Chain A
């Protein structure tokens, strides 16, 4: 078994602010550990304010005050080196970025510099990694674009001249032009309409197969995970509550929150009315004691209110953090 590309251990990252005499600590990422193997698409699911955006920011080392990493490590295992992303010099970080670790951002409406042509973004991000003189570099880029079924003259356009879907595809091309081993994709299809979404997802799937990169794919849309992710992790209130192979998680969710997420997906032939979950996600500044899900959990007992359930392996490659996990589904 080869080393995993990404190993997150005991990661804790909080927002700490002190303004107007008021101190606040938002526990956005609270003790998370996970592993992602090579050539794997790992889906991360959870509603907004579950902390998943903070988690990927921390993994990508896009830390800005008031966000602070309090504990844990994020270790990448690339082709030629092994690094803790928080323990590198800025120079090394710049060498890693884009060549080994790239990022597809949420709502890619606005990720390209609006006053410069698309070409310049490619130059800024990738030129130093490809290591060829400019004309050869541009040829490489054009070839890459063509392989992804994009017209090379998109390089001469300004971002506002491209449609939203087009911009997203260009961003994906940009994120993959250096053939990185690890790509973080943060809600890449959320702002797009369904038809365009399909095309973009297909593109991501294709490029992943070709490059053999690992992708950490974050979205709250469970149907996208069902189609794309090899493994799936569910986040709730700053913690990982369940993780396993996508098929396993969908077939027999162990944590009540996961069960709810999956049950909310519409299915052919299922006309039963959907029941919403009571309550609202907890404030990450003052989360409930014990298991953070207990105020909304139908199976909550006294121990859930007092103690935090640890992540436990419940089946092969399938773990959940619950004192009363559901048993293996019959199907």
Chain B
């Protein structure tokens, strides 16, 4: 038990460190620019007419306050952290006066759902197929699956999403292309609504899965081919343990352990892919919100999304880390 407690504390510390460094990077990026976002916003707001100098001065003042750019660098840093800690990024410029936090709060569940479902699906399926491919080396079907997985894997998420859009948008339009659910449908938990949720998420999930499968497949296949030479597997074969049991309890179970670590490490990349994919399919998650925020010049929203993304992904990694000892008893003891 004590071993686990130490492990827990270490992981919590790591989580805090990651969030701290990440948010600091965000601060550095926003303040290392020669451009003043206040002036930029003013320029954008006043380009179609003339505005009195007093109005501009007022705008400047309120924007500075809005963006937390009052005072010297030190003050700005503290103000920045204060906001992040509370989760208050101010009102969104493009959807004034809706607070940024509310906008993100609306979009985040969509992204979270998409991410969780597609990642779990891809991870489980990829590892299963890869494990079988590593164990049954002669299977033609599995080798073909491997080639397919490896073909899609190096292609970036955007292009796969784009290609799917072309295929299902122009060549074989059977699936809805945009949005999270059918428009004008009442948002209650009816079968129709849930059905539309599902049909709208098929393409984004498919897109993420096509790219992700290859990675897990290859990793698991190579892990399994190494594990079958391990002493405990050879011994189990000498002991006449039936093949199915060896595959499940000796091979897969041991191979999954590093794959869980791999999952934690890839979450950042998968998240990147998810938000890009969302944008292509107009899925109402954080990704679409981010891109439209950039187009609209909404500084607070972009900053808010970046910060929330960092915290959210780090939290997910922490969760996986905490579940890890359940899978690997060797960690519990240390």
Contact present between A and B (CB < 8 A): yes
**Interface on A for B, CB 8 Å cutoff?**
60, 62, 93-98, 102-103, 105, 107-116, 120, 124-125, 158, 160-161
**Mind listing 10 A-B residue pairs with CB under 8 Å?**
A62-B237, A98-B240, A105-B231, A107-B231, A110-B230, A110-B231, A115-B327, A124-B239, A124-B245, A125-B240
Query: Are the C-beta atoms of B253 and A125 separated by less than 8 Å?
Result: no
Residue B291 lies at the interface, judged by CB distance under 8 Å to chain A? no
Chain B residues near A108: list those with CB within 8 A.
231
- How would you classify the secondary structure of chain A's contact residues: helix, strand, loop or mixed? loop
Residue B232 lies at the interface, judged by CB distance under 8 Å to chain A? yes
A103 to chain B, nearest CB (A): 5
Query: Are the C-beta atoms of A97 and B240 separated by less than 8 Å?
Result: yes
Query: Are the C-beta atoms of B330 and A124 separated by less than 8 Å?
Result: no
Q: Binary interface profile of B, 293-334, with partner A (CB < 8 Å = 1, else 0)?
A: 000000000000000000000000000000000011110010
**CA gap between A114 and B257 in the complex, in Å:** 11
Q: A105-B231, A158-B329, A161-B333 are in contact. Are A113 and B238 (CB under 8 A)?
A: no
Query: Are the C-beta atoms of B249 and A113 separated by less than 8 Å?
Result: yes
Query: Are the C-beta atoms of A160 and B330 separated by less than 8 Å?
Result: yes
- Pick from A62, A95, A98, A116: contact of B234, CB under 8 Å: A62
Query: Are the C-beta atoms of B253 and A115 separated by less than 8 Å?
Result: yes
Query: Are the C-beta atoms of A115 and B257 separated by less than 8 Å?
Result: yes
**CA gap between A210 and B242 in the complex, in Å:** 29
Chain A residues near B234: list those with CB within 8 A.
62, 105
- Pick from B239, B245, B329, B333: contact of A115, CB under 8 Å: B329
Chain A residues near B253: list those with CB within 8 A.
113, 115-116
Residue B241 lies at the interface, judged by CB distance under 8 Å to chain A? yes
Chain B residues near A105: list those with CB within 8 A.
231, 234-235, 238
Q: Binary interface profile of B, 135-152, with partner A (CB < 8 Å = 1, else 0)?
A: 000000000000000000
Q: A62-B237, A98-B239 are in contact. Are A115 and B231 (CB under 8 A)?
A: no
Query: Are the C-beta atoms of A125 and B232 separated by less than 8 Å?
Result: no
Query: Are the C-beta atoms of B238 and A93 separated by less than 8 Å?
Result: no
B206 to chain A, nearest CB (A): 33
Question: Closest A-chain residue to B332, C-beta based?
Answer: A158
Query: Are the C-beta atoms of B254 and A113 separated by less than 8 Å?
Result: yes
